[in-house]
Amino acid sequence: MGKYSISQFVQQTKQDEQENDFFELETERVLEVNLNGEVWAKMGSMISYTGSIKFERERMLEHGVGKLFKKALTGEGTPLMRAKGNGRLYLADQGKKVTIFELNGESLCVNGNDLLAFENQINWDIKLMRKMAGILAGGLFNVTLQGTGMVAITTHFEPLTLLVKPGEKVYTDPNATVAWSGNLTPEFTTDITMRTLIGRGSSESIQMAFSGEGFVIIQPFEEVYLSSQQ
């Protein structure tokens, strides 16, 4: 149905007034946070809120010198903001699809550009790749999240999960790789001969190689990462 009366449109697209979990999908591309305390979110992801909520940009030494140093090395372009207070907070990122994970002691590594929000009690750290860190324009980095609580990530279109099995490496395009299980340690590999054979540009000669046992989440889209503007 593409034609609505005003009342029909409001009725069909209005927010859910029920009390929900801390993280809920208001739509498949909008995250609702039922805030009563604090939450960390990607800077600039707030699209609306109700209630009494204050926003603070992540301060330079908010999480210690170590993380600040790693941010500088990785060229991180996704500063965080803290939302504090009581109310409903709506988050989104460029129309990307939102997926919510509830961690129960597990760890999840997420491409920094695809991390939307996470609960305050989740432990997190910026991880550096062992080989060829920062080889891509803008710097590629990931955030490891561990503990108990909710994490929201974003993908362009529907995500696909690839299973990594012992003895069978899985190779992915770094620009299409969204997240992976925390027990995996990816490395960068290169194959210059692939430059003219696959993909639309030279970046496809750089791949991420996953080995061990776990999973990798990819998206049907090659995302271009911007250099940090901090």
Q: What is the 3-class SS of 28-79, one letter each residue? A: CCEEEEEEEEEEEEECCCEEEEEEEEEEEECCCCCCCHHHHHHHHHHCCCCC
Q: Identify whether the C-beta of residue 62 lies closer than 8 Å to the C-beta of residue 68.
A: no
Average pLDDT, the chain: 82
Predicted local confidence at residue 230, as pLDDT: 37
Predicted local confidence at residue 85, as pLDDT: 97
By three-state DSSP, how is residue 106 classified? strand
Task: Give, in order, the Cα–Cα distances in Å from 89 to each of 20, 21, 38, 226.
Answer: 12, 12, 11, 26
Predicted local confidence at residue 229, as pLDDT: 38
Structure confidence by residue, pLDDT tens digits, 153-205? 999 999 999 999 999 999 999 889 999 999 998 888 876 565 555 554 445 57
Q: Which residues pair with 155 in a beta bridge?
A: 97
Map tokens 């430059």 to a residue: 195
By three-state DSSP, how is residue 10 classified? helix
Cα separation, 27 vs 8, in Å, equals 17
Q: What is the dihedral of CA 199, 226, 223, 49, to 10 degrees?
A: -170
159 contact partners, CB below 8 Å, separation of at least 6 = 97, 99, 178, 217, 218, 219
Cα separation, 2 vs 216, in Å, equals 37
Predicted local confidence at residue 148, as pLDDT: 96
Structure confidence by residue, pLDDT tens digits, 106-164? 999 999 889 999 999 999 887 766 444 445 543 467 889 999 999 999 999 999 999 99
Q: Domains along the chain?
A: 20-218 (3.60.160.10)
Whose CA is closest to 140, among 182, 190, 175, 185?
Answer: 175
Structure confidence by residue, pLDDT tens digits, 76-92? 445 789 999 999 999 99
Strand-pair category, 30-42 with 80-91: antiparallel
Q: Higher-confidence residue: 137 or 27?
A: 27
